Amino acid sequence: MNEKFTVQEILSAIDDLAKLRNNTVKLSFKKQKEVEIDNSDIPLTTIKLIEEAENN
């Protein structure tokens, strides 16, 4: 395991790792898409009760 690397090879590897790290961080914080909910099968009285409960 006595491999020898040039300074340029080491700096290049560090640069590659930094790019990989930056890409990973950007991917992990993407905003989730909002999901539209179809309330057409819920009676209007039930929806009103839910909205009143949420406001209180």
- Amino acid 13: pLDDT: 92
Q: Which residues contact 32 (CB under 8 A, 6 or more apart)?
A: none
What is the mean pLDDT of each successive set of 10 residues along the chain, which is 56 residues long? 86 89 61 76 87 89
The model carries a pTM of: 0.38
- 3-state class (DSSP) for residue 39: coil
Residue 6, both tokens: 């040039």
Q: What pLDDT score was predicted for residue 41?
A: 85
Query: Is 47 within 8 Å of 54 (Cβ atoms)?
Result: no
